[in-house]
Homo-oligomer: A and B are copies of this chain.
Amino acid sequence: MPYTIGYDFGSESGRAVLVDVADGREVASAVHPYKHGVIDQQLPDGTRLGHDWALQHPADYLEVLEVTTKAILAQSRIPADDIVGIGTDFTACTVLPVKADGTPLCLTDKWKGTPHAWIKLWKHHAAQAWADRLNELAERRKEPWLSTYGGKISSEWLFPKVAQVAEEAPDVYDAADKFIEAADWIVWQLTGVETRNACTAGYKAIWDADSGYPTRDFCAAYHPKLANLIDKLGPPRPLGEKAGELTPAMAAKLGLKAGTAVAIGNVDAHVSVPACGTTDNGVFVAIMGTSCCDIICGPEKKVVPGMCGVVKDGVVPGSYGYEAGQSGFGDHFAWLSRFLGKADPGHAALEAGAEQLGPGGSGLLAVDWWNGNRSVLVDADLTGVLVGMNLQTTPIEVYRALIESLAFGLRMIIDTFSQNGVKIERIIACGGMPEKNRLFMQVIADVTGRTIQIARSAQAPAVGSAIFGAVAASKRKGGYDTVSEAAKAMGGIKELSFTPNPSNRSVYNQLYTEYRTLHDFFGRTVPVMKRLKHIRAKAAAGGVSTETIERRAHK
């Protein structure tokens, strides 16, 4: 009876799930928080960090491996001999400088007090100026890859992060033999072999299967020190391949068998696709959490305005994987809850009240940009809108408007893919939200006019990693030879699905027309939101004197 383990490394903790290779049954799972969490104030030695920094500690990842593996082995009593493969997924771009043997610079005495020697977590946002410079340069030079990323590289990605190191800590840059995604570093620790995966390289490091990384010429123009950056990266390998085998040392540490197959690294969102039971083209998988990440595969490369990226073999081997998303999703509801404070009636009451209202029954129309817009406008400076407020407007009405607005934002992405030649056959929702937010899922079905299926596992990324672990093992060793076969056997969807209600759909079609009007007005035509941010920034900078109240004598 073969089993595999999937490890899912998140922002605050890591998770392991032990999965039956035959049918994907989750036999055991364990979560362990990172001891150092997100390091955003000071290094362990007390060195202060700047604004918008976000680092991590590599030892935390290793501790997760050890603690969770022992926990699932103990829970399941499955013998290590039956565990044939391991897969991993990570947040990205989460990148660190290492020596040639994979030692993180931050774990050496020389560099442990230098912030730039540490792991930069995906949400390290202090490299925004370097993203701006990169976009400006790429546009000016008409770099062919820019359109692949919706016309904009994010400050969260590898190039801006490494450029910040080169500029602010040139000695760290020089001391780093490699810069490597944590997704690949953890595989290196497991196998003793350095590999790179096509997913993080493609979506976060401007790499393309045909043309490779940006040219050395471009890198040097971006920052002189980066002329040798490509030497510090490495050639990515397709997803689904075996990276190597568990080293005896690591096997002993985890209680697993040396030689166990380890899959090439992967990203948490992208790895969720096979967990839904399919790797077919045209399956739109929406990974719903605080934000929403959308993945779809297609047979050819299309330029779709406002997507995050399109990468050959980036999700499953043999197809083009497209990524898009909404930078704010469930966190809109968290905002409403915070706004209401002790008056928050709770999710169940909000959902029940909102359901009573029916489509358009709030009288409100929201634009879902509380955390900016990732697709299709690719503009972090956009902000949220509420229209239709009146003296009777209630929190329940705002809640309903937020739900509808998020569904409109999702439809905008779906329509944009469809209109640009990326065919969508099915929609599958996964992540923590779908099971807990049934009204929301129904509204999405009604707004998009499509049936919404739900991933079977609530921990889809970890199951996805276990699937890749089974492929790394190969059929001969009890796994599968292709991601597609493994996905069919081990992934799947729930019996629950949400089908569009035709009369609701017609109301939403009217509302969506209004949403598009506001979307284009605020997002494309009139930069009111940017000007508000600018005015606010000036106010915060103290450009505004205190109020004055004068008293005057009147007869």
- Seen from chain A, the residues whose Cβ lies within 8 Å of a Cβ on chain B are 328, 331-332, 334-335, 339-344, 355, 357-365, 369-371, 383-391, 393-395, 438-439, 442, 453, 492-499, 501, 503-504, 507, 510-511, 514, 517-518, 521-522, 526, 528-529, 531-533, 535-536, 538-540, 543-554
Q: In the complex, are the beta carbons of B492 and A514 less than 8 A apart?
A: no
Q: In the complex, are the beta carbons of A438 and B358 less than 8 A apart?
A: no
Known contacts A355-B547, A498-B549, A510-B535; 19 additional CB pairs below 8 A are A339-B394, A342-B343, A360-B536, A363-B383, A363-B536, A385-B387, A388-B533, A442-B549, A495-B552, A496-B551, A499-B548, A503-B543, A504-B544, A504-B545, A507-B535, A507-B538, A507-B543, A511-B532, A518-B528
Cβ contacts under 8 Å, A385 to chain B: 385-387, 389
Cβ contacts under 8 Å, A494 to chain B: 554
Q: In the complex, are the beta carbons of B547 and A442 less than 8 A apart?
A: yes
Q: In the complex, are the beta carbons of A501 and B548 less than 8 A apart?
A: yes
Query: Provided the pairs A341-B343, A517-B526, A528-B365 are in contact, do residues A497 and B360 lie with their beta carbons within 8 angstroms?
Result: no
Cβ contacts under 8 Å, A498 to chain B: 549-550
Query: Provided the pairs A388-B383, A391-B371, A547-B501 are in contact, do residues A507 and B539 lie with their beta carbons within 8 angstroms?
Result: yes
B340, B529, B536, B549: the one contacting A387 at CB < 8 Å is B529
Cβ contacts under 8 Å, A332 to chain B: 391
Shortest distance from the beta carbon of A498 to any chain B beta carbon, whole Å: 6
Q: In the complex, are the beta carbons of B442 and A553 less than 8 A apart?
A: no
Cβ contacts under 8 Å, A546 to chain B: 358
Q: How far is the CA of A369 from the CA of B544 in the complex (A)?
A: 27
B328, B360, B538, B540: the one contacting A539 at CB < 8 Å is B360
Q: In the complex, are the beta carbons of B395 and A384 less than 8 A apart?
A: no
Q: How far is the CA of A185 from the CA of B48 in the complex (A)?
A: 77
Query: Provided the pairs A370-B389, A383-B389 are in contact, do residues A503 and B545 lie with their beta carbons within 8 angstroms?
Result: yes
Cβ contacts under 8 Å, A536 to chain B: 360-363
Query: Provided the pairs A360-B532, A503-B544 are in contact, do residues A395 and B339 lie with their beta carbons within 8 angstroms?
Result: yes
Q: In the complex, what residue of chain B is closest to A548 when comparing beta carbons?
A: B501
Cβ contacts under 8 Å, A495 to chain B: 551-554
Q: Is the interface of A mostly helix, strand, loop or mixed?
A: mixed
Cβ contacts under 8 Å, A357 to chain B: 539
Q: How far is the CA of A507 from the CA of B538 in the complex (A)?
A: 9
Cβ contacts under 8 Å, A344 to chain B: 343
Q: How many copies does the complex hold?
A: 2
B360, B521, B539: the one contacting A359 at CB < 8 Å is B539
Cβ contacts under 8 Å, A548 to chain B: 442, 499, 501
Q: In the complex, what residue of chain B is closest to A392 when comparing beta carbons?
A: B335
Cβ contacts under 8 Å, A390 to chain B: 335, 370-371, 383-384
Q: In the complex, are the beta carbons of A538 and B360 less than 8 A apart?
A: yes
For the complex of A and B, 6 pairs with smallest distance between CB atoms: A384-B389, A341-B343, A343-B343, A360-B535, A358-B544, A363-B536
Cβ contacts under 8 Å, A369 to chain B: 389
28 contacting pairs across A/B (C-beta < 8 A) = A339-B394, A343-B344, A358-B544, A358-B546, A360-B532, A360-B536, A360-B538, A361-B539, A361-B540, A363-B383, A365-B532, A370-B389, A371-B390, A383-B387, A384-B393, A385-B385, A387-B532, A388-B532, A388-B533, A438-B549, A439-B547, A442-B548, A442-B549, A492-B554, A510-B535, A514-B532, A517-B526, A518-B528
Q: In the complex, what residue of chain B is closest to A332 when comparing beta carbons?
A: B391
Q: In the complex, are the beta carbons of A532 and B364 less than 8 A apart?
A: yes
Shortest distance from the beta carbon of A527 to any chain B beta carbon, whole Å: 10
Cβ contacts under 8 Å, A358 to chain B: 539, 544, 546
Q: In the complex, what residue of chain B is closest to A550 when comparing beta carbons?
A: B499
Shortest distance from the beta carbon of A211 to any chain B beta carbon, whole Å: 38
Q: In the complex, are the beta carbons of B363 and A391 less than 8 A apart?
A: no
Cβ contacts under 8 Å, A364 to chain B: 532
Q: How far is the CA of A167 from the CA of B196 in the complex (A)?
A: 82
Q: How far is the CA of A383 from the CA of B385 in the complex (A)?
A: 13
Shortest distance from the beta carbon of A114 to any chain B beta carbon, whole Å: 31
Q: How far is the CA of A391 from the CA of B330 in the complex (A)?
A: 11
Cβ contacts under 8 Å, A501 to chain B: 545, 547-548
Q: How far is the CA of A554 from the CA of B308 in the complex (A)?
A: 32
Query: Which of A334, A344, A391 is most buried by chain B, counting CB atoms within 10 A of its CB?
Result: A391
Query: Which of A328, A442, A495, A547 is most buried by chain B, counting CB atoms within 10 A of its CB?
Result: A547
Cβ contacts under 8 Å, A384 to chain B: 387-390, 393
Cβ contacts under 8 Å, A528 to chain B: 365, 387, 514, 517-518
Cβ contacts under 8 Å, A383 to chain B: 363, 387-390
Cβ contacts under 8 Å, A539 to chain B: 357-361, 507
Query: Provided the pairs A545-B503, A554-B494 are in contact, do residues A529 and B343 lie with their beta carbons within 8 angstroms?
Result: no
Shortest distance from the beta carbon of A529 to any chain B beta carbon, whole Å: 6
Query: Which of A387, A389, A554 is most buried by chain B, counting CB atoms within 10 A of its CB?
Result: A389
Cβ contacts under 8 Å, A544 to chain B: 358-361, 503-504, 507
Q: How far is the CA of A514 from the CA of B528 in the complex (A)?
A: 6
Q: How far is the CA of A503 from the CA of B535 in the complex (A)?
A: 13
